[in-house]
Structure 1
Amino acid sequence: MNTTLVIMAAGIGSRFGEGIKQLAKMGPNGEIIMDYSIYDAKEAGFNKVVFIIRKDIEEEFKSVIGDRIQKHIDVEYVFQDINDVPEGFSVPEGRTKPWGTGQAVLCAKEVVKDPFVVINADDYYGKEAYKKLHDFLVSNEKLDAKYTMGMAGFVLKNTLSENGTVTRGICKGENGLLKTVIETKGIKEENGKILCDDPEVEAWVKPEDLVSMNMWAAYPDFIDYLEQGFKEFLSNIDDDPMKKEYLLPIIVNGMLEEKSVQVKILETNDRWFGVTYKEDKEAVQNSFKELIEKGVYPENLWND
């Protein structure tokens, strides 16, 4: 069965502070985080990559990674644009903020025709999650709902940054299925306790709890749901037209509430790392160096 890796790389990366953070060099030969993600996905069995980018970074993106990767796996590009809204809708005057990860995946509707996994461009997820999500998709396991999805469940304490707070989807599950995911900002650990911007979540969340890192497994019918849902979202943005976003965790949680989806949690103990802040860059570079020294990756990733 063909499977596709969808990489959301249109983020502006304002918190990184130096250039386009998704294209920061992390490996010994200039590899970026996406190189390792694609390598892991290909190893797990994925045979196509769809990059969701902005049109204005297309040239640099292709020179840094796209032209190299297409020698090893099928590649397609789609472009996320704030002006790409359904007929009958318009962008609120003055809005510059993109519409979010839900619209990003929706941009790939015309090129994603197979089961797929979606990831963030600037997150390193480890090998285990790709293998588990790929195997879940090709098993064609149908859960007891209209839509079937999978989610990589990461241990919260394995996903924190030493350089500032992070946003995570805090998860509650039952019998291996996701029951709720709460998009939570301002997360950090102090003295073994998790602090965050949501007092209700802070009251019960623990370092060992599972979180979503925006690594979802789905089938093409989920994109059809996103298409309809985006229209409903745009019809209800009057309370915050400048900043409200159509976000995957919130979308999935809404589907859970209406019982239209069941999401299998596929737990991974791999340690996340990424470049939320510019201070993270050196730590990520050192982490890849350690993984290469341990033999997890070859020093020359693609042997070009």
Structure 2
Amino acid sequence: MTLLLMAAGKGSRYGKLKQFDGLGPNEEFLMEFSIYDAIDAGFNHVVIITQLDHVAFLQDHLMARIPKNIKLDVLSQKLEELPPGAEILVERQKPWGTAHAVWTARNHINSPFVVLNADDYYGRAAFHKAASFIKNPETTSPYAMVGYTLIETLSPNGSVSRGICSIKNGNLLSVEERLKIISENGEIVDLDSGQQFSGEEMVSMNFWVCQPSLFSEIETYFSQFLQDKELIKNSEVYLPFVIQHLIAKQKTTVTVLPSSGKWFGVTYANDRELAVMALADMTNKEIYPSPLWGNTY
């Protein structure tokens, strides 16, 4: 089983590259805890998508730490990497988005895989649920999403963007993006629309269980995207949009796996202290060893 981590973000609200911030008790990156939990669940291949300037650093950093029996591929997301026959005639600096980042790994993954953000903490239970889903011979859905309750994913330091899930019979119907959800004065509200939430809604935090067929679906979707001269100026191709497109076209079903574990992220600089405290607490409780990778340092 393969873990695919998206680590090409630029951390505009956080103020620096949060995927390389040493938040663990021994300066471990947040992604290292995801890798540790994935290995614990039986994953044996790690693929990381990052910016070209960070490939060598991340390769060296992780090769010195993770177990030697774990295969590691660190790849760069390149603007010029396009589907065959595609070309763009406009100047663009912004990355193509998370779906394009996943598509970057198409030649390195040929079995079911999990994809998630490198700068979020998902909890060990999420990886074990994903592994059980992949290994279960009676699984009827080819795809899955690990979901979290909205109230458990909010930041005390500002508004957050969350994908509110619509679910029927345990399957995902759609994900509605709400860009400015905040908790204040005892209420949870989307500042853009004014919609209020109970906090018990299931949200997507970009933890997906996927099949290799996704790569060809992304390529088709991306090729169509590139034909729109307005979209290619500044828009991005997001992985949830591609998956939702497949659901709408009845090309797949997506099982929702409610997580019983903890999630946290570092959207804002002030979220850092909370993340550091949470990781330290789990280490003190011996949920994680210290240092995380023991004698491999």
2:184 is the counterpart of 1:193: no
Q: Does the residue aligned with 2:234 lie in a helix, a strand or coil? A: coil
Q: Is the 8 A contact 2:126 2:259 kept in 1?
A: yes
- Tell me the CA shift for residue 70 of structure 1: 5.7
2:78 is the counterpart of 1:81: yes
2:219 is the counterpart of 1:227: yes
2:146 is the counterpart of 1:167: no
- Tell me the CA shift for residue 179 of structure 1: 1.0
Identity of aligned residues (%): 39
Structure 2 unmatched ranges of 5 or more: none
Q: Is the 8 A contact 2:178 2:190 kept in 1?
A: yes
Structure 2 CA distance for partners of 1:230 and 1:70, relative to 1, 3 Å = farther
- Tell me the CA shift for residue 72 of structure 1: 5.4
Task: Give distance in 2, aligned partners of 1:140 and 1:107.
Answer: 29
Per the alignment, residue 215 of structure 1 pairs with 207
Q: When the two structures are aligned, how many residues end up with a matched partner?
A: 295
2:153 is the counterpart of 1:153: no
Q: TM-score, normalised by structure 2?
A: 0.93
Per the alignment, residue 250 of structure 2 pairs with 259
Q: TM-score, normalised by structure 1?
A: 0.91
Structure 2 CA distance for partners of 1:210 and 1:41, relative to 1, 3 Å = same
Structure 2 CA distance for partners of 1:227 and 1:197, relative to 1, 3 Å = farther
Question: Which consecutive segments of 4 or more residues in structure 1 shift more than 6 A?
Answer: none
Q: Which moved more, 1:184-193 or 1:129-138?
A: 184-193
Task: Give distance in 2, aligned partners of 1:206 and 1:80.
Answer: 38
Q: Is the 8 A contact 1:124 1:272 kept in 2?
A: yes
Structure 1 unmatched ranges of 5 or more: none
Task: Give distance in 1, aligned partners of 2:190 and 2:79.
Answer: 30
Q: Does the residue aligned with 2:294 lie in a helix, a strand or coil? A: coil
Per the alignment, residue 278 of structure 1 pairs with 269
State the Cα RMSD in Å. 1.8
Task: Give distance in 2, aligned partners of 1:198 and 1:42.
Answer: 40
Q: Is the 8 A contact 2:156 2:183 kept in 1?
A: no
Q: Is the 8 A contact 2:5 2:116 kept in 1?
A: yes
Per the alignment, residue 30 of structure 1 pairs with 27
Task: Give distance in 1, aligned partners of 2:15 and 2:65.
Answer: 26
Q: Is the 8 A contact 2:88 2:226 kept in 1?
A: no
- Tell me the CA shift for residue 142 of structure 1: 4.8
Deviations 1:14-52 (A, max 9, x none): 22213x210100112121101110110011111110011
Task: Give distance in 2, aligned partners of 1:160 and 1:109.
Answer: 33
Q: Which moved more, 1:50-59 or 1:103-112?
A: 50-59
- Tell me the CA shift for residue 56 of structure 1: 1.1
- Tell me the CA shift for residue 281 of structure 1: 1.4
Per the alignment, residue 206 of structure 1 pairs with 198
Per the alignment, residue 268 of structure 1 pairs with 259
**What does 1:36-55 align with in structure 2 at a 5 Å threshold?**
36-55=33-52
Per the alignment, residue 11 of structure 1 pairs with 9
Per the alignment, residue 178 of structure 2 pairs with 184
Per the alignment, residue 18 of structure 2 pairs with 21
- Tell me the CA shift for residue 140 of structure 1: 4.2
Per the alignment, residue 132 of structure 1 pairs with 129
